Structure 1
Amino acid sequence: MESEKSDSDTRYVLGIIENRVKEVGVAALDLRRASLHLSQFIETSRSYQNIVTLLQYFDPKVIIIPSNSSAPDGMIGLTALLERCSNARKVELVRGFFDDTKGATMLQNVAAKETRAIFSENYHKQFYLCLGAAAAVLKWIEVEHGFIITKNSLQITFNGSFDHMSIDATSIENLEVIEPLVLDSIKQKRNRSSLYNMLNTTKTVGGARLLRANLLQPLKDIETITTRLDSLDELTNNEQLFFGLSDVIQKFPKDTDRVLCSFCFRQKKGSVDTTASTRRSQVLVAAIILLKEALDLLPLLSKVLQDAKSSLLCNIRASLSSNSAYSVLKERISEVISDDAMHARSAFTARTQQCFAVKYGVDCMLDLARKSFCTTSEAIHELGIKYQKEFDMPKLRLVYNQRQGFHIVISESDLQQNCLPNVFLQVVKRGKNFCCSTDELMSLNSRNQEAAAECYVRTEQCLEDLINYISGDVRSLALLAESLSLLDMMVNSFANTIITKLPAVYTRPDFTENGPIAIEAGRHPLLESIQFEDFVPNNTFMSEATNLVIITGPNMSGKSTHLRQVALITIMAHIGCYVPAGFASFRIVDHIFTRIGTGDNLELNASTVTYISIKS
């Protein structure tokens, strides 16, 4: 729904509701990928550990809960929990918005055809809480942002988070999976990275987000893990394939997955916010340019994958090259979009590309708006040259950004007697430069922005049929975004990590149904990357007969490091990546729980074990 955000900026809106028997319903709407995740479960922990884990996973920007919700006996309450565990914006709605019947009806209308089956009558009766949470989330999006979801466009998963390995929030922090630990004494991060930072050499936003999701909830399906490992075998042994894929992925727009969201959300009829409407038109035009650029690169990607042998890479090649929807969509786009239109990161270049995206002659009113845009842009450029000569400021330049439009930047070295002429207004000093404007520039800037806004609106009107066509086949866009994200993670994260290490440092893990957990010459993946001398490896063996290991030793001997090492190697193996060990064999792990360090609470006169028992 928004066009320019940082890679790490969250996009989830979370709805949570509970009943008096400790049953919780959760609906998480991903605004970037237009997908909805539903979960309903019994909260067995008095401290809401399951919800805390979901908050860690989704990292929502907004959390919606019922107003005046009282906690069941022995529970701390949702409101108190959210105040303590999340910095997201909290929104309280009356319980009437959490209507499961309306939720089921709304989801049947907007759900993609492939996911409608989950809304049968049996599902409705059994999972009414998460449907009520979904109703509140969708209604809040409509009221707050003035957007509605188009029909048959929302990808919905049910209880997806519980089909993966569960790692509680405390363990995520202790193991440094996403963020490095913070030293409370000096409030600074240690001179070390996290597992996510170490592996995150991805080139796209979708690849980075998929990597984070896999680390927080690793896989439990042996077949999927083995398929990923097979593709890693091929990528690490075939340098031509590895470098070819890495080069092609880098050419794709960094935020290709943003395209999907643009066509799934439509502005609600009756909206009178002209600024929001113009912004919406700009986002749609930018999304079509992004989509055009991605579709143009698909033949090159298929060519690089043509000699691939592993099933994962072959399936991706088949899904992208044999899907006729992409070729038809490319033809529809080429009918109205100029061949020269390209995605650009620069604000002014992107704006110009969006204004001239549609071919000439399609709409005469659009051509007139473009002429006005060009005239004012040239006048602004000539005005900058005029000021350079008139005030003898050769370093004076015009700069454009989306918030201010065009403004003047003058170097401090250009000033005579450290004083600006009176013609310059709104002067702000930034470093060694002065940012300012003039009456003439502000007038031209206003006319230029009005012409650009008219171009956006007229362009969207010209593309209305194309937008409706794209919205009708969102599943193809979702498949494209998912394939690129998975390729990026496998190639630029997993394979890159293995190839850039010394030979024989990382090895492929084995998986068995009921075998032991055996690690030979295992190493801590984070510490060995920053340790100057050779890391001392350790062996680990656990089976049904020996399922408890007690580690003893003096302070600073590496006991905690060994515990973290085993857990991190296990996580890496379950996401389908090679591990830092001479040999590693695992059975599927369902949960990882850790308690590392001291957690004494003097106020409660409780030891670490007692305090943990009180919390859980």
Structure 2
Amino acid sequence: GRDALLRFFSVRDLSGFGCEALSLALGAAGALLAYLDDTQRTQLPHFAALAQESPADTVLLDAATRRHLELDQARSGTSLLGVLDATITPMGGRLLRRWSQRPLRARQPLQLRQQAIAALMDSGRHAPLREALRAIGDLERILARVALRSARPRDLATLRDGLQAAPALRALLQAVDSPQLASLLDALGEHAGTAAHLQATLHAQPPALLRDGGVIAPGFDAELDELRLLSTDADRFLSELEARERAASGIATLRVAYNRVHGYYIEISKGQADKAPVHYTRRQTVKGAERYITPELKSFEDKVLSARERALMRERALYEQLLDALNARLASLQAAAAALAELDVLAALAERAEALDWCCPELVEEPGLHIARGRHPVVEAARSEPFEPNDLHLDPARRMLVITGPNMGGKSTYMRQAALIVLLAHIGSYVPATSARIGPIDRIFTRIGAGDDLARGQSTFMVEMSETANILHHATPHSLVLMDEIGRGTSTYDGLALARASALHLARVNRSYTLFATHYFELTELASAENGIANVHLDAVEHGEQLVFLHAVKDGPADRSYGLAVAALAGIPKPVLAEARRTLLELERVARRGGEAPAQPDLFAAPPATTPAPQMDELLQALRALDPDSLSPRAALEALYRLRALLPAPD
């Protein structure tokens, strides 16, 4: 891979690109280069350098997190990009997607983006900027085709129109006070000469394919114009030639004609043949007439019969010259396309911030996460009724929130909105909140939802545990962790034990900022047993037989889970609900037997001390005295009856 890169960039080593020692990355880059060579079979002049990206530069998002947060693909409904992407151009849409997939940790570029968005909103220039961008096509891909020499005529027409629209963008933004916008205008550059060259060379509305002809504008090339004239205006030329020859020869019946076999000829009746000028050369004798050819007509014939093919060849040559001229300016044109893409994204983010009433987040070096009246951007956009905003406060002294409350109460929404607000802040966007103050974040982890992976032979619980293990191994004190219903894929006691142990590990070892949603009410005791853990809950009230979700986050644990009420909302048959209520009452009665135990059994409470009854003590002594290996079948049966007789009587 390294050798391939050295050959491609024509350099002696790769230290100038800062990647000489990255052997795995060089192998991957070399493999990619080999793939491009196999598929494109041409030079790749638009690849000018290598750039190294470090994980330390970005807020890392693993595959599970991208999937759970539904950044660009939603299992149902709308994704985050579906709400956020108001870009005009395809290249702006791609850049926004890259930003969302690779949020930055560095504060300076993010603050420059925020300031540019604020400047566009304050000046009111984002709306006219977006209108001006509608005249600009996908210049990035067009320039890639130019470099590969596969650009079609309409691609170049789109490039021409885009370069002609650039001065209007410059005029719009010239007075806007923003270092980032000024930098983008510098990168946009001046391309009036290239636009004028394209304007002069290309037809105003060129055909889709070069082979169709009519790509080069009339008047650009005299030779091409003559060829086109010959191929399109042959009848006029023949009429003029016929009139001149009649006048010169005095033969009134002379005519100029054409057939596919013999081509162009001058025909004179046999009665007038003796008047044929001496420069006429007989071509054919037919009944009642003689046919001649002249040097002028022969020259015209040669030209007109090959005029279309020659015109197409000439157009191709001129088109190749145009591609050569564009490739000579390729680097500056690519910089201009990248600047236009970023202008598109910044204008789109300004439009979203204004339309959705988002605020500018404050990115600080002090650890912590403080969001006032935060909202979930996708849920809010999808709901017709007002969204209930909620606060979130995490800091070194309050690192974990154990979130309880009913299903459908909004626990997952509350958790996801926190992650999305953090992610939006780290792409430079405004966020859906009244205010947001965000300290350093290095990764976002999520463990939300249930699903198996049959292709890899993983059950739902195995997928859950694999994702949990990844979080426990890699989360740091600067990570944001969302854990939703850990342990629900196995038995109650197993799941409760795993959930408690995972929460304690995150609190004691990882020390991450954690939102831990659960239905195990036993976990609410962690707040009093461990520093840095607090309880919050999503509230709900029962009104008659109806359950009303308030979607408001309040301090403290929930008092119940409302599981049967939610099941009723889902349409579970009433006989099933009645049977479930009877079973629930029986379980609670068993749990309360012998004392004031809570309705939910506490797995981690110490077992009560008990004294064996006398019969049980005698039974245990008799059992210890047995030697199973020395017993015959009959003796074993008799011993079993004796032991049974020692059992205490049932209550």
Q: Is the 8 A contact 1:225 1:574 kept in 2?
A: yes
Distance 1:292 1:371 in 2: 30
Separation in structure 2 between the aligned mates of residue 518 and residue 494 of structure 1, nearest angstrom: 22
SS of 1:154 mapped into structure 2: coil
Aligned twin of 1:157? 51
Matched, 1:496 2:351: yes
Q: Is the aligned partner of 1:306 residue 2:178?
A: no
Q: AA paired with 1:102? A: A
Give distance in 1, aligned partners of 2:63 and 2:423: 15
- Which amino acid in the other structure matches residue 109 of structure 2? T
The answer for the alignment partner of 2:25 in structure 1 is: 130
2:3 alignment partner in structure 1: 101
Structure 1 residues 56-135: aligned runs within 5 Å: 99-108=1-10, 118-120=14-16, 123-124=19-20, 126-135=21-30
Contact 1:601/1:611 (CA < 8 Å) preserved in 2?
no
- Structure scoring higher RCO (CA < 8 A, sep ≥ 6) equals 1
Offset at residue 196 of structure 1 (A): 0.5
Q: CA deviation at 1:462?
A: 1.3
Distance 2:307 2:409 in 1: 69
Looking at structure 1, the residues matched to 392 and 186 of structure 2 have their Cα atoms a distance apart, in angstroms, of: 41
Q: 1 CA distance for matches of 2:309 and 2:166?
A: 32
Q: Distance in 1 between matches of 2:313 and 2:396?
A: 66
Where does the alignment leave 5 or more consecutive residues of structure 2 unmatched? 235-305, 474-651
Once residues 199 and 506 of structure 1 are traced to their aligned partners in structure 2, the CA distance between those partners, rounded to angstroms, is: 12
2-structure distance, mates of 1:196, 1:508? 19
C-alpha distance in 2 between matches for 1:453 and 1:234: 56
TM-score, with length taken from structure 1: 0.58
| Contact 1:285–1:354 (8 Å) recurs in 2 | no
The equivalent residue for 2:618 is none
Aligned partner of 1:250 in structure 2 is 134
What's the counterpart of residue 109 of structure 2?
224
Q: Does 1:296 align with 2:167?
A: no
1:465-512 per-residue CA deviation (whole Å, 9 max, x = no partner) reads 443333233221111111111111111x212212223xxx31111110
Deviations along 1:209-234, whole A, 9 cap, x unmatched?
A: 01111111112121111111111112
Cα pair 2:70 2:80 within 8 Å, conserved: yes
Structure 1 residues 150-189: aligned runs within 5 Å = 150=45, 153-159=47-53, 163-181=57-75, 189=76
CA shift in 2, pair 1:159/1:306, >3 Å: closer
1:265 pairs, out of 148, 167, 182, with 148
2:403 is equivalent to residue 551 of structure 1: yes
Q: Distance in 2 between matches of 1:198 and 1:337?
A: 41
Distance change in 2, residues 1:454/1:366 (3 Å): farther
Alignment match, 1:362: 221
Partner of 2:121: 236
User: Structure 1: how far apart are the matches of 2:233 and 2:86?
Assistant: 40
Contact 1:206 1:257 in 2 (8 A): yes
Name the Cα RMSD after superposition. 3.4
Counterpart selection for 2:204 from 327, 335, 341:
341
Measure how far apart 1:258 and its partner are. 1.8
The question of 1:487 aligning with 2:343 is answered yes
Counterpart amino acid of residue 9 in structure 2: L
In structure 1, the partner of 2:332 is 476
Mapping 1:392-403, distance limit 5 Å: none
Partner secondary structure for residue 202 of structure 1 = coil
SS at match of 1:550: strand
**Contact 1:366/1:458, CA 8 A, preserved across alignment:** no
CA distance in 2, matches of 1:147, 1:311: 39
State the distance in 1 between where 2:103 and 2:390 align.
23
Which of 549, 554, 572 matches 2:424?
A: 572
- Structure showing greater radius of gyration is 2
Q: CA deviation at 1:576?
A: 1.1
CA distance in 2: counterparts of 1:565 and 1:263, whole angstroms: 43
Alpha carbons 2:349, 2:430 under 8 Å: kept = yes
Q: Which amino acid aligns with 2:435?
A: F
Equivalent-residue separation in structure 2 for 1:196 and 1:363 (angstroms): 52
Secondary structure, in 3 states, of the residue corresponding to 2:219?
Answer: coil
User: SS of 2:400's equivalent?
Assistant: coil
Q: CA 1:313–1:127 in structure 2 vs 1: closer, same or farther (change >3 Å)?
A: same
Paired letter, 1:494: L
- Rate the CA distance shift 1:291–1:155 in 2: closer, same or farther, 3 A: farther
String of CA shifts for 1:442-464, please: whole Å, max 9, x gaps.
Answer: xxxxxxxx999986653341144
Letter in 2 for 1:250: R
Distance 1:319 1:604, change over 3 A: closer
Alpha-carbon separation, structure 2, partners of 1:599 and 1:331: 58
Residues 251 and 361 (structure 1 numbering): CA distance in 2 closer, same or farther, change over 3 Å? Answer: closer
After superposition, the Cα gap between the structure-2 partners of 1:553 and 1:370, relative to the gap in structure 1 and judged at 3 Å, is: farther
Q: Is the 8 A contact 1:506 1:579 kept in 2?
A: yes
CA distance in 1, matches of 2:370, 2:233: 68
Cα distance in 2 for partners of 1:106, 1:612 equals 41
Structure 2 CA distance, aligned partners of 1:535 and 1:249?
A: 33
- Alignment-derived partner of residue 200 in structure 1: 85
Asked if the contact 2:100–2:423 (Cα under 8 Å) also holds between the matched residues in 1, the reply is yes
1:389 aligned partner: none
The question of whether the paired residues in 2 share the 8 Å contact of 1:260 and 1:478 is answered with yes
Q: Which of residues 210, 220, 244 in structure 1 aligns to 2:95?
A: 210
**1:163 to partner: Cα distance:** 2.6
Identity across aligned pairs (percent)? 26
SS at match of 1:551: strand
Residue number in structure 2 paired with 1:612: 467
How far apart are the structure 1 equivalents of 2:141 and 2:453? 46
